[in-house]
C-alpha cells in the first residue's frame, strides 16, 4: 500500500476542521515542504494559511499524512504509554511512504499531537466525510499494524481500533479481515482474511 505518489499534492480538507485545529502551527514547516517552497521563505499568517487550504475536494497527500499522524497518536496513547517499537514503526512507515524529509516533518507534528487531547469523534467524522472508503481501509490497515508493533495488542488498543473503525465507517467484517492479516496464520485466519465462512464449499472459496 503506497501513499508516496500523493506526496507533493499539498493540503486540502485536513487543514481545516478538527484535524487542522489540532496540529495548529506545527503545520507551518511541513506545509512549506509539501508545497515545494523555499524552507527559509516567510510563510503567510497562520489564519491566511487556514483560509486558503480549508476546503472540500479530493484527498491530497497532506490530508492522508495528517490523518495518519493524528490517528497514530490516538492509538499510541490508548494504553497510556508510548513505546519505542511504536515510534520505530511510525518512523519506518513514514520514511517508506513519504520519504525522509517529509517523514521528519510528520514526526515533529506527531510529537506535538501526542501532547494534546484528541477530539477523536470529530476527527473521525472529518475523515469519514472526506476520505474515500478504499483510503479509509488503507488507513485502518496501517493503524492495526501500529497497534501490533510491540508484538501484543492491549485491550485498550483493541478498543481504540474498534472505536476508530466504527467512527470512520469501517464495518466489523472489514475490521476483522484486516486484523486477521496480523495474526499468526491459521486455517481460520485465512478464511477470515478472505471474508469466507470456514464451512464454505471449494467453489465459494474460489469466488472469494
Phi-psi region of 66 (alpha: psi -120 to 50; beta: other; left: phi over 0): alpha
Q: What is the pLDDT of residues 52-85, one digit of tens each?
A: 444 556 777 778 888 999 999 999 999 999 999 9
Residue 134 has pLDDT above 90, yes or no: yes
Please state the pTM of the whole predicted model.
Answer: 0.73
Q: Tell which wins on pLDDT, 206 or 106.
A: 106
Residue 133 has pLDDT above 70, yes or no: yes
Owner of C-alpha cell 497562520: 46
Q: Which residues contact 37 (CB under 8 A, 6 or more apart)?
A: none
Q: What is the pLDDT of residues 135-163, one digit of tens each?
A: 999 999 999 999 999 888 999 999 999 99
Cell numbers representing residue 167 in the block: 467512527
Amino acid at each position: 500500500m503506497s501513499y508516496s505518489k500523493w506526496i507533493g499534492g499539498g493540503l486540502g480538507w485536513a487543514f481545516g476542521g478538527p484535524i487542522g485545529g489540532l496540529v495548529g502551527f506545527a503545520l507551518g514547516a511541513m506545509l512549506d515542504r509539501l508545497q515545494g517552497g523555499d524552507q527559509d521563505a516567510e510563510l503567510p499568517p497562520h489564519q491566511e494559511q487556514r483560509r486558503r487550504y480549508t476546503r472540500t475536494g479530493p484527498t491530497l497527500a497532506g490530508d492522508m499524512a495528517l490523518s495518519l499522524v493524528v490517528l497514530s497518536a490516538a492509538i499510541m496513547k490508548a494504553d497510556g504509554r508510548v513505546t519505542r517499537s511504536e515510534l520505530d514503526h511510525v518512523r519506518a512507515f513514514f520514511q517508506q511512504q513519504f520519504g525522509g524529509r517529509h517523514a521528519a516533518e510528520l514526526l515533529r507534528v506527531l510529537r506535538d499531537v501526542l501532547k494534546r487531547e484528541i477530539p477523536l469523534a470529530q476527527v473521525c467524522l472529518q475523515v469519514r466525510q472526506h476520505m474515500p472508503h478504499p483510503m479509509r481501509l488503507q488507513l485502518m490497515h496501517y493503524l492495526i499494524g501500529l497497534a501490533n508493533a510491540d508484538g501484543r495488542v492491549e485491550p485498550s488498543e483493541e478498543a481504540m481500533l474498534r472505536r476508530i473503525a466504527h467512527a470512520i465507517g469501517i464495518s466489523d467484517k472489514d475490521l476483522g479481515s484486516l486484523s486477521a492479516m496480523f495474526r499468526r496464520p491459521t486455517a481460520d485466519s485465512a478464511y477470515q482474511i478472505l471474508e469466507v465462512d470456514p464451512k464454505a464449499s471449494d467453489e465459494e472459496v474460489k469466488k472469494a
